[in-house]
Amino acid sequence: MKKYISIIIALVLAAFGLLTLFLSTSLIFDLFDVRADQGNYVLFVVWANFFSSIIYLIAAFGFLAKKYWTTLLLGLTSFYLFATFIRFLIYVSSGGIHETKTMSALVFRIAVTLIFTILAYYLISKKKKNEN
């Protein structure tokens, strides 16, 4: 059963990464005319989502291969998203135009990334430490 947990997590992470990649590239490159529907999006947040999506896909491989660096990669991504959140707060306090859903979406993404980081730590990193 434990073997399948990592596979399930990797599949969920890959699906989350692919969805994020699709949504962010659609907005960046205006695929399917999504910009008109999105309102006042914040481009640096969209780019942060784009970079995170690529890291999610790499981390999904890390889960499958049980690579030690998966935890570090996801942890750095959490930090990067948190830094993006701080930058977003500064942008908003400076009068930047935005959608209110951007803040909750960013908080959600940080929380999900932290959950995946914790799972990677307990399922890969901590296990490898105990084996040595």
Instruction: Tell me the pLDDT tens digit for each residue of 14-58.
Output: 999 999 999 999 999 988 888 878 889 999 999 999 999 999 999
26 and 49 in contact (C-beta within 8 Å)? no
Answering whether pTM is above 0.85, one says yes
Instruction: Tell me the pLDDT tens digit for each residue of 72-115.
Output: 999 999 999 999 999 999 999 999 999 999 999 999 999 999 99
Q: Map out the domains of the chain as residue ranges.
A: 2-131
